[in-house]
Amino acid sequence: MFTVRGGACLAMPNRRESDMDEIIRWSAVETAKALAKGDVKVAEVTRAHLDRVADCEPGLRAVVDPLDEAAMAQAEEMDANRPKDLPALWGLPVTIKTNVDFEGHTNPNGIPALNEAICERDAPVVRNMRAGGAVVIGRTSTPEFSLRFFTSNPIWGRTLNPWDKGLTSGGSSGGASSAVACGMGVMAHGNDLGGSLRYPAYCVGGATLRPSMGRVPAFNPSAPAERPPLLQSMSVQGVIARSMGDVRLSYDVLRRRSSDDPLWNAAPDSGRAREDSPRRVGWCVDPFGDGVDSDVARAVEAAVGAAKQAGYEPVEVTPPMAAEAAQTWGLLLNTEIKVMMLESIRKMGSEAVNGLIDTMLELYPPQDVAGLLQAQARRLTIQREWARMFDYVDALIMPVSSLPPMRADQDFEEPESVPGIMKAQRFMHVGNLLGLPAATVRTLDAAPIPLGVQVVGDRMDDVICLDVAEAIERELALDLGPIDPR
């Protein structure tokens, strides 16, 4: 049987079903080490994760497009032609969200009308993962237009949270979070416009990094027109995993340059990172002053305590202009939705998603030209104030949401609760408006789902976010293995 002790993999011959069960428990880092040492073949790892998909699907409706034949063919070819120098993700089983182009498959984005046209080439993030050696074992579900904190759509139905099927697995990368939480791949691609990496990771006790704006190239070759300007400046690509070490493993692979994205940014950091700088971490439980759930507060307290144990100096701070930042995010996004997306939503979206959009347009009224330009100018003021805060602290620990994970499809089934939902999620909107990196890390084994926090950094200080979040994770030493939804 395979066992893992301190990251070392011990292989025995005559692999049995229990061996395959052990493989899916390995982290991405552990799997990479086992593959590098030759203790296990790529085909064995791939087969174990595909078997896990077969065990869990279609029940969870997370991996909605399994790629067994292509994945096994790739794995066997990799074993037969093993390179001398292995790329960082060589042989690692991953999933891709169904809202980016994937050659030979559709990019429906949760919309039946778009589930027909076949993509002719990969999006840059897919190319980077493939170039890094990853084996794509399937594609994951997303809500219509990827505009919700809940994952269900008319094509594949509701994605279930493997911890508690009555709660959301998050959105819009809810298929990704559900998949990786129960071992269907060691990491899962996702993206984030208003929290769509951080909230799904939070909803399954997972780990992620919302990279700085421009850090990871983004583009869909099949798109009939360019992404609207505000999506260009607020939406990013990344991965969800079960540990911060696994997220870090993917980081250099994801951020490789692509000429498809002229907005890609190669800056190594914010320019303020110095080895001799104080290891000072800010923290804030309630930047909006509206109160948070008691378990959410405990998750922040656990993170602060762990950061202190790891050698950081915790400093309580009040993030500047937080409420205005969240409101500005909504005004800018909804102005763009009305001008550039609303016609398509009305035409192709379900009645439920159109009702949600109506509520959102009331909460964040679209602006006229003067209002749009004023909001854009105000964004720069807020960015400057947050940059000044990061002159004093290396990173900021704060909640992902003011509430534990919400009920599945709560926005559709209880439309009167949408204002409260958006109020709870403001913690994430600030990072999107300002283009900041933010890691999500588990810090509290609450019931029924573990909770975590965000570690937010200055623009381009992604590595600092990873460093702080990984130090917190290391000090807390929680069980981050996959769960069995059966």
Catalytic, 344? Answer no
pLDDT tens digits for range 232-286: 999 999 999 999 999 999 999 999 999 999 999 999 999 986 666 669 999 999 9
Q: Which residues contact 299 (CB under 8 A, 6 or more apart)?
A: 399, 443, 444, 446, 451, 452, 453
Class of domain 20-476: alpha beta
Phi then psi dihedrals of residue 179, to 5 deg:
-60, -50
- DSSP assignment, residue 225? S
Band (21; pLDDT cuts 50, 70, 90): confident
pLDDT exceeds 90 at position 473: yes
pLDDT tens digits for range 97-136: 999 999 999 999 999 999 999 999 999 999 999 999 999 9
pLDDT tens digits for range 142-183: 999 999 999 999 999 999 999 999 999 999 999 999 999 999
What pLDDT, on the 0 to 100 scale, is given for residue 278?
62
Catalytic, 97? Answer yes
pLDDT tens digits for range 270-282: 998 666 666 999 9
What pLDDT, on the 0 to 100 scale, is given for residue 485?
78
Band (18; pLDDT cuts 50, 70, 90): low
pLDDT exceeds 60 at position 14: no
Give the tokens for residue 361. Answer: 């347009």
pLDDT exceeds 90 at position 2: no
Q: How many helices (H) and strands (E) does the chain have?
A: 18, 15
What pLDDT, on the 0 to 100 scale, is given for residue 20?
72
> Is the CB of residue 108 less than 8 Å from the CB of residue 67?
no
**Pairing state between β 438-444 and 395-398:** unpaired
> Is the CB of residue 330 less than 8 Å from the CB of residue 421?
no
Write out 188-216 in H/E/C secondary structure: EEEEECCCCCHHHHHHCCCEEEECCCCCC
Phi then psi dihedrals of residue 441, to 5 deg:
-135, 140
Q: What is the C-alpha end-to-end distance of the chain, expressed in Å? A: 22
In the set 27, 146, 172, 401, the catalytic residue is 172
Q: Is 249 left (phi over 0), alpha (psi -120 to 50) or beta?
A: alpha
Q: What crossing angle do the helices spanning 42-56 and 68-80 adopt, rounded to 10°?
A: 170
pLDDT tens digits for range 354-409: 999 999 999 999 999 999 999 999 999 999 999 999 999 999 999 999 999 999 99
Band (352; pLDDT cuts 50, 70, 90): very high
In the set 141, 196, 243, 350, the catalytic residue is 196
In the chain, % of residues over pLDDT 90: 94
Q: Which residues contact 390 (CB under 8 A, 6 or more apart)?
A: 270, 272, 396, 457, 458, 461
Domain layout of the chain by residue ranges: 20-476
Residues 126, 134: Cα–Cα separation, whole Å: 9
In the set 27, 41, 97, 141, the catalytic residue is 97
pLDDT exceeds 60 at position 351: yes
Give the tokens for residue 67. Answer: 């790629």
User: Rounded mean pLDDT of the chain?
Assistant: 94
In the chain, % of residues over pLDDT 70: 95
pLDDT tens digits for range 445-465: 999 999 999 999 999 999 999
pLDDT exceeds 90 at position 207: yes
- Residue 154: asked if its preceding bond is cis (omega within 30°), the reply is no
Catalytic, 37? Answer no
pLDDT exceeds 90 at position 73: yes
Phi then psi dihedrals of residue 483, to 5 deg:
-100, 160
